[in-house]
Amino acid sequence: MKIHTILDLIDLGSIALPEFQRGYVWNREQVRRLMQSLYRRHPVGSLLVWETKSEGAVTRGDGQAATGTVKLLLDGQQRITTLYGIIRGRAPRFFDGNSQAFAGLHFNLEEETFEFYAPAKMKGDPMWVNVTEVMQEGAGKAIQRLMSVPSLANLGGDLSGYVNRLTALDGVKVVDLHIDEVAGEDKTVDVVVEIFNSVNSGGTKLSKGDLALAKICAGWPEARDEMKRCLTRWQAAGFHFSLEWLLRNVTTILTGDAMFAGLANVPTPAFAAGLQEAASVCDHLLNMVSGRLGLDHDRVLGGRYAFPVMGRYLSQNGGKVRNAQERDKLLYWYVHSLLWGRFTGSTETIMNQDLHALDGGAGSLENLIRNLEQSRGDLRIRPADLGGSSFGSRFYPLVYLLTRVYGARDWGNGLPISANTLGKLSSLQVHHIFPKSLLYEHGYARGQVNAVANFCFLTQESNLDIGSRAPEIYFPEIEQSYPGALASQWIPMDPVLWKVENYRQFLEARRELLARAANEFLGSLLAGSVPEGEVVTPVLDRSERRVPGAVEDDAEEELIQSADEWVTQHGLPAGEQSYELVNEHTGEPIAVLDLAWPQGLQPGLSQPVALLINEEMATLDAANRAGFLCFTTADDLKQHVLEEVLGLPEGER
């Protein structure tokens, strides 16, 4: 079928894009290569469509499908969207992506090459013609404009060559593309998605969540938008969740199972009600976790896949906990699932173990805790567990939690930090108790400098006032002005430990104090159901080995946040900050990457990318082994985006 006919059928609604397809992800280099191949009449591959009844077909965009049957584009979306954008001069109605990827394409008559518009290079040069103008007006008008240029009117043979090239360019519209069709009563969404994944080997595979959502949207087209509204509301409160995470919460509430396949038999009204309940339950859980534990922003909200389990429990009990004791016991389980990375490995399998534990009715919370004990052994926290370093350590949120729940006092005014506005990174800062410059000066390694036990939380003003002074200098001042403020942040009060030469002993002593406080608090949540002194032999090594990587301080965090925002402003997906790289077989953490795109900057079409600021070689090695393309400065990342991803000419970068 000729390209211009395919585009006409898109305008008529006879060819559309199925709801489960993802957005447009091609970059300018891919667009340029496609047009170069078509101009030279090289094969560019066939298309695959699914012919199905228009009634009930769920398509992307606001266009109406033609009556009778519609052909849903399974393979070829990127190519057809590109051609539509170049030939029509606008994006199709089903478009979802960055239209700059195909806007402004020009053709050089002399070199027969395609490039995107660069004013300094092309303005006023008749050798560069706008491809969209040629496609819309035809070669004739382009030839007339060319012949009106005085310097070209008498070129004879050369002019004839230019005319032939313009004709060949305009002729791209009538190039035939082969179309394979999938049709028949037996071609369900499941079958079609399986076909899609098999033929789309070079692109983005559909996840189980994508397939489940495609089925849901078949009966309720507004489902995706409703879910995005929930995510936007939580984002405004400082919590960033994925669509799949929310879908998992709905799934567990409706089916009691972590597998998305269970949604296949859920009627549309039931799913809509389940989504509403999941949103309400998650609100309740976020309020519980923020209010009781103080984990009130993204950086400290770990253990996110505990939420579907907790949500199922609340759903079974009318959407909320019955009393304070039940609430605290549930939070006890949540904190331990966070600390031990319960859901970082085989998420669905582990989640189902916990969901099945809830089916026992009375004592289901005890069953959840028993599952943790069976996998971890003794759940009490030992000082060695706080031996990690960096913001990416699983025990970093624990220090923040203790600061909040115990009302630790600020060192600049002596007031409880919990009375200040917490969770806003601009008003509360991580303070290195022993300043980094002092420790580096005395030969301590990065992992020792950024030890979790060297972190505390202070207001920004207090952090600035302390500056880079040594503890042996500023600790006595604080203790004199605000007695007890140091101890409230679990500082060992032996002045000998405040000296930099005794830094290792200071860390050991503070880990003891933090572990004791953590066990006291968690014991109070559990209401003493684990008797003091009873020791269960661990089934796994409980010490947390140091995991390399992660953000070092607020300045580095601001740089990473700025780089992430810059990427999204260029129409690309947001990265994952403090991304935990884990062993896919054991679930154990390998490294923490400052900012990562595990699916690539063009999801599914490019290799994973990571921005690693001031990281040690171990972090870089781990990321490289996992297949990440790593950048160590924000400028290098931006240059890669502009040159390789967006393919912008030098004059437009």
Integer Cα distance of 499 and 485 in angstroms: 19
Average pLDDT over residues 449-457: 92
Average pLDDT over residues 505-512: 97
More confident residue, 152 or 430: 430
Q: Give pLDDT tens digits for 302-334.
A: 889 999 999 999 999 888 888 888 899 999 999
- Residue among 135, 57, 59, 61 nearest 97 (CA): 61
Integer Cα distance of 586 and 472 in angstroms: 43
How confident is the model at residue 547, as a pLDDT?
58
More confident residue, 416 or 107: 107
How confident is the model at residue 153, as a pLDDT?
57
How confident is the model at residue 41, as a pLDDT?
94
How confident is the model at residue 541, as a pLDDT?
33
Integer Cα distance of 509 and 457 in angstroms: 18
How confident is the model at residue 532, as a pLDDT?
28
Q: Give pLDDT tens digits for 352-365.
A: 999 999 886 667 88
How confident is the model at residue 361, as a pLDDT?
62
Q: Give pLDDT tens digits for 32-68.
A: 999 999 999 999 888 888 888 877 666 767 667 778 8
Tokens of 14: 């006879």
- Residue among 406, 391, 419 nearest 594 (CA): 391
Q: Give pLDDT tens digits for 82-133.
A: 999 999 999 888 887 777 788 889 999 989 999 988 887 888 888 899 999 9
- Residue among 498, 393, 390 nearest 449 (CA): 390
Q: Which of 178-182, 328-332, 575-579 has the highest mean pLDDT?
A: 328-332
DSSP 37-100: HHHTT-----EEEEEEESTT--BSSSPPPPSSEEEEEEE-HHHHHHHHHHHHSS--TT--S-GG
Tokens of 117: 């518009």
More confident residue, 261 or 409: 409
- Rounded to two decimals, the pTM is 0.64
Is residue 449 within 8 Å of residue 468, measured between CB atoms?
no
How confident is the model at residue 548, as a pLDDT?
61
Integer Cα distance of 270 and 280 in angstroms: 15
Q: Give pLDDT tens digits for 152-164.
A: 655 555 778 888 9
Q: What percent of the chain has pLDDT over 90?
A: 37
Average pLDDT over residues 204-215: 65
Round the average pLDDT of the chain to a whole number and report it: 83
Average pLDDT over residues 580-598: 74
- Residue 637 reports pLDDT greater than 70: yes
Q: Kindly list the domain boundaries of the chain, sorted by start residue.
A: 3-180, 207-326+335-364, 384-526, 554-652
How confident is the model at residue 107, as a pLDDT?
95
How confident is the model at residue 598, as a pLDDT?
87
Cβ-Cβ contacts under 8 Å for 439 (sequence gap 6 or more): 448, 449, 500, 503
Cβ-Cβ contacts under 8 Å for 305 (sequence gap 6 or more): 245, 248, 343, 347, 351
Is residue 15 within 8 Å of residue 70, measured between CB atoms?
yes
